[in-house]
A and B are shown apart, each in its own frame.
Chain A
Amino acid sequence: DAKTTQPPSMDCAEGRAANLPCNHSTISGNEYVYWYRQIHSQGPQYIIHGLKNNETNEMASLIITEDRKSSTLILPHATLRDTAVYYCIVRVGYGNKLVFGAGTILRVKS
């Protein structure tokens, strides 16, 4: 699976959009981009995933660049409860193990 690079930490004001970047320059054509988050003392939680089209669900939006070498997770209106570690993972399709990198610590501040 391709390696991902994320900033170690970011701050965001409550109510503002949080934009979390991820670089995956060695991604293969059959690898999906997944985002999970881990709130303190809990197991990781699935957020969203995509292959090449932008995706949106009730939690977030995922913007993938045309060359698929990077992506951005957008939390449109961040709340204090969104403070967590966010992991960007690339994985070949469904049914394969998730390999976690270091992730980005997002701190939402009032």
Chain B
Amino acid sequence: SAVISQKPSRDICQRGTSLTIQCQVDSQVTMMFWYRQQPGQSLTLIATANQGSEATYESGFVIDKFPISRPNLTFSTLTVSNMSPEDSSIYLCSVLPPGTEQYFGPGTRLTVT
């Protein structure tokens, strides 16, 4: 199993600013994912962030808007840049440890005003 923590748990930000979300895992994992969950919607994969390689973004998501860092096997950050109210969502970090299933963090609830 894997225990995931995210910081901040929630934030209210002004449009045009940026927020960096941190994801910390209690064990070393290669495969890590970032998801977005808009209000009342299902989860949408933003990108896959494997340590040692550049993040791979899904259709509709670009690096300039959602830059990701993955400096080591237990940590990652997702930045939401130049925010607008449409970016108001829950952002979730997820990991896939070897030989087990995918685990999700508690999420970061972002409100952009």
Contact surface of A with B, Cβ cutoff 8 Å: 34, 41-46, 49, 85, 87, 94-95, 97-103
Chain B interface residue count: which class?
A: 20 to 34
16 example contacts (A-B, Cβ-Cβ < 8 A) are as follows A34-B101, A43-B103, A43-B104, A43-B107, A44-B92, A44-B104, A46-B101, A46-B102, A87-B42, A94-B99, A97-B48, A100-B42, A100-B43, A100-B44, A102-B42, A103-B42
* Contact of B42 with A43 in the complex, beta carbons under 8 Å: no
> Which B residues between 77 and 97 are near A, CB-CB below 8 angstroms?
92, 94, 96
Smallest CB gap from A43: residue in B: B104
* Contact of A46 with B103 in the complex, beta carbons under 8 Å: yes
Smallest CB gap from A102: residue in B: B42
Contact surface of B with A, Cβ cutoff 8 Å: 4, 31, 33, 35, 42-45, 48, 92, 94, 96, 99, 101-107
Smallest CB gap from A101: residue in B: B42
Cα distance A85–B31 in the bound complex, in angstroms: 25
Contacts of B106 on A, CB cut-off 8 Å?
42-43
Cα distance A45–B33 in the bound complex, in angstroms: 15
Smallest CB gap from B106: residue in A: A43
Contacts of B45 on A, CB cut-off 8 Å?
97-99
Q: Are A44 and B31 also in contact (CB < 8 A) when A49-B101, A95-B96, A98-B102 are?
A: no
Contacts of A103 on B, CB cut-off 8 Å?
42
**B33, B43, B99, B103: residue with the most chain A Cβ atoms closer than 10 Å:** B43
Cα distance A97–B95 in the bound complex, in angstroms: 10
**A85, A98, A101: residue with the most chain B Cβ atoms closer than 10 Å:** A98
Cα distance A103–B4 in the bound complex, in angstroms: 23
